[in-house]
A = this chain, B = another copy of it.
Amino acid sequence: MQLLENRSAELRSRHGIAFHFTGIASRRLGWIANPEGLGEVEGALARELPKPDPKINDVRDWLSAARADVLFEATSLNLETGQPAVEHIRAALAHGAHAITANKGPIVHAYRALRDLAAQQGKRFLFESTVMDGVPIFSLFDQLPAVHLEGFHGILNSTTNVILSQMEQGLSFEEALNKAQQLGVAETDAAHDVDGWDAAVKTAALVTVLMDAPIRLDQIVREGIRDLTPSAARNAKRDGWPFKLVCRAYRTANGVEASVRPERVRSSEPMARISGTSSYIYFQTDIFPGLAITEENPGLHATAYGLLADFVRALT
């Protein structure tokens, strides 16, 4: 929310958007709402917030009490069900608010239902920050009408990419993981990254939305980097053919096949030089046989920016 508040003058002058925060909710804070506005939210975390309203029992009550026009959904990912994010987004759209999320769960578990509900309500369901930190990937395809996506491959998980880069330089897996955590790129649950779940969920989100082919996580061949030894990583790199955790999807006669696994990548291939926190995706389409996007060393605000950009998209 800090980025939103920092850019509020620009949002007003360039996009005609004025806003205030009328609600905050979390497990710790409870349901807080004031339709007149809560003041600066970034500052609010340091000062005393309004008491939670005991009359508010659930997300629907809260959206009404806050008279929300836009919901930013930021609960953490539940791989199995996508909840409670799916219900939060459903409630927001039903209430008549745009729903913006950085959570991949709702895309994997309820994309078509939420997309259709949004269309029916004349509101937007947006999730640009779920893949590549807010680089406009989903929005790019909004700008590619009548283009058919045949497949894609790429490197979409920073933690494993940082770990592999560190192991190539001689660190053990544990040391490399610590390094990634120090850099602030490893998520709370390292297994989520290391075992390929994060990359698989991103792959599923891209397949579901951009190839219009809903895919379950158990349909994606998934292998993490836990079994790679530092010497294997080092030798592969030395031979100019490094390991990367590669996401792939391609259309077949029977739907879409997708995988996430460590692959050795030829040095002539752009993926070979995607190191550290950079990421990369290569799209194969009927009009553009190879359209690739590289995000090098994303800044601190890249993910938050995705939410801000969705906010502007929803309102303009």
Contacts and interface: CB of A to CB of B under 8 A. Distances in A.
A172 interface: no
A294 B291 contact: yes
Judged by DSSP, the binding face of A is mixed
Interface in A182-226: none
B296 A294 contact: no
A298 interface: yes
A89 interface: no
A292 B140 CA distance: 13
Contacts of A299: 286-289
Nearest to A134: B287
B268 A313 contact: no
Given A10-B146, A14-B145, A140-B143, A292 B291 contact: no
A288 B270 contact: no
Interface in A276-314: 278, 286-299, 301-302, 305, 308-309, 312-313
A270 B290 contact: no
A290 B302 CA distance: 11
Interface residues of A, number: 42
A297 to B, nearest CB: 6
Given A140-B140, A268-B273, A270-B270, A291 B145 contact: no
Contact of A294 (B290, B309, B316): B290
Interface centre among A15, A136, A316 (most CB of B within 10 A): A136
A294 B312 contact: no
B296 A146 contact: no
A251 to B, nearest CB: 17
B10 A312 contact: no
A112 to B, nearest CB: 16
Contacts of A268: 273
A151 B144 CA distance: 25
Interface in A91-147: 134-136, 139-140, 142-147
A7 interface: yes
A79 interface: no
A134 B145 CA distance: 12
Interface string A12-40: 00110000000000000000000000000
A136 B288 CA distance: 11
Contacts of A56: none
A290 B301 contact: no
Given A15-B145, A143-B139, A289 B297 contact: yes
